[in-house]
Amino acid sequence: MAEENVEAVRGFYEQAAVGDFSGLADTSHDFEFITSPELPDAGTYRGEAARRWVRNWIAAFEELTIEATEIRGAGETVFVGIVQRGRVPGGEAPIEGRWWGVYAFRDGEVIRLQLFPERAPALAAAGLRD
């Protein structure tokens, strides 16, 4: 199952790298999203509130893409490094952000995503080391 989880994350980010975030619809009804504390409205969101937070984040940018730079499986979790690029509406200057995330799966379905501002804590949360 671990390889299927890695492939699911890889597939999502292949779409997100070209601005297609339709994979968000594939999260479980009780999906949990834990934001990085540096983000606006940081916290833990569940179910529709989690999907709404992510949709609002996506809508806050123009030409948004999110590319995976590293993906590693660890049983029922998947570690991912990402780079986000976009612009604020009406702005000309590009914005780039780097984040690390840990996806948790149950029966092949994403049940949680936790974002981190630094790589080492995300690796540890996934049960991995460099």
Question: Does 34 fall in a domain?
Answer: yes
How many domains does the chain fold into? Answer: 1
Question: Does 115 fall in a domain?
Answer: yes
Question: Does 130 fall in a domain?
Answer: no
Strand 77-87 vs strand 44-46: parallel, antiparallel, or unpaired? unpaired
Instruction: Please give the single-letter amino acid code of residue 101.
Output: G
Question: Does 20 fall in a domain?
Answer: yes
Q: Which residues pair with 78 in a beta bridge?
A: 73, 103
Can you tell me the distance from the alpha carbon of 11 to that of 26, in angstroms, rounded to the nearest whole number? Answer: 12
Mean pLDDT computed over every residue of the chain: 93
- Which residue range(s) make up the domain with 49? 2-125
Q: CATH number of the domain that 12 lies in? A: 3.10.450.50
Q: Which pTM does this prediction carry?
A: 0.92
Residues near 61 by Cβ (< 8 Å), separated by ≥ 6? 86, 87, 88, 89, 95
Q: Helix (H, G, I), strand (E, B), or coil: what is residue 55?
A: helix
Closest among 31, 47, 20 to 112, alpha carbons compared: 31
Can you tell me the distance from the alpha carbon of 123 to that of 129, in angstroms, rounded to the nearest whole number? Answer: 6
Closest among 112, 94, 123 to 47, alpha carbons compared: 112
12-61 pLDDT, tens digit each: 999 999 999 998 877 888 999 999 888 888 999 999 999 999 999 999 99
